[in-house]
Structure 1
Amino acid sequence: MRATILNCTLKKSPEPSNTQDLADVVGAGLRELGTDVRSVRLVDHAVLPGVSSDLGEGDDWPGIRREVLESDILIMASPTWLGRPSSVAQRALERMDAMMSETGEDGMPVAYNRVAGVVVTGNEDGAHHVISEINGGLVDIGFTVPGQSWVYWNMGPGPGPDYTATEHGHRYAHQVAGMMARNLYGVATALRKSPIPQEFSREAG
């Protein structure tokens, strides 16, 4: 089993990322189940704006797309800014839009039979909105989103300390992160054993 975390923080490496820290809790849970987990901090790469899978020279998205499609599990991890997903998360979804009309050798849409989940952090409110926005896009693209396949941490209304600056809510968030890991793994395992039949897949266009 293989999982890819797309960290949609606005912070370039090596600056610490609160979003990565919480995503790593989910990653640890998946590793305990025997999953190979890899993480990509998108802002460290040249992900050009657009809705195609390959925009040519200078575009790093094709390699990231390959990583996603070689995985059974995709985790989108985003901070909350102004109550919404980061611009990096939106760009990733826009680039994955091309997957809606792409099929594999089996004739299935390329995102089918893969599961996805969402991690959100922020010292402001809006996590549920961010989860809904990202999940809505992932479902449109063709990913399967299991129940309780998300985790978030925030400080509630108004600004406050970051995830790494306080222990506030960590116990609850980590419990939910563990449940998220198990649910993602469980549904990914089920889809491996019994994938969506080709005749049930939607027609492109």
Structure 2
Amino acid sequence: MELPIFPLNAVLFPGAAMPLHIFEERYKLMMGECLRERRPFGVALIRQGREVGEPAEPLDVGTIAQIAAVERLPEGRMNLVCVGADRFRIVRHISREPYLKSEVDVLAEPVEEDEETRSLAQRVADIFSEYAGLEIALSGGWSRETMLPSAPGSLADQIASRLPLGLPAKQRLLEELSPRMRLNGERVILSAAVRRLQPLVASAHATRWQGLPRLN
């Protein structure tokens, strides 16, 4: 399929939302056409170049983005919220003016719904909930239930989008099609994060209680 490509210093995962502020002429034109024709566009991490100015070269694997909401601003600018759909791989670039258009293949992840994968997904969901609770506790907030999808692939993508990872690590998770492999990688990352946060939260909790008056 042919897809307009938006190279960004960001990784969009299927099912995740991403806000965008559109102000460059080429991208105002791109989004205007996508909105008129109700077409998606592609988000891909920049391999070389910058978001603004000269055209940037994207990595081959990205995510198809559907426009979910738009706020039109003066001078043709707009604020958008897009939602990730399928992964894609760029086959070839068709044109670069006024914006990048590419021929892409849609990438399908393997179906991994066996008992081992479902069990792994539940373990990773539990560790992520613990991690999220520790992050909230460290900031002094109130813990609340974390809503996560049950399907292994969707769960892996949702967690990947919410983890504070560097762009290369996020891109590796995007390029990995196997839900089981993504979940295994996230299990390692989350387990290490929980071990790091637990003593910090305990120390912060003790410090807060030390400042309170004691009732005898």
The answer to whether the superposition gives a TM-score over 0.5 is no
TM-score (norm: length of structure 1): 0.25
Structure of higher CA gyration radius: 2
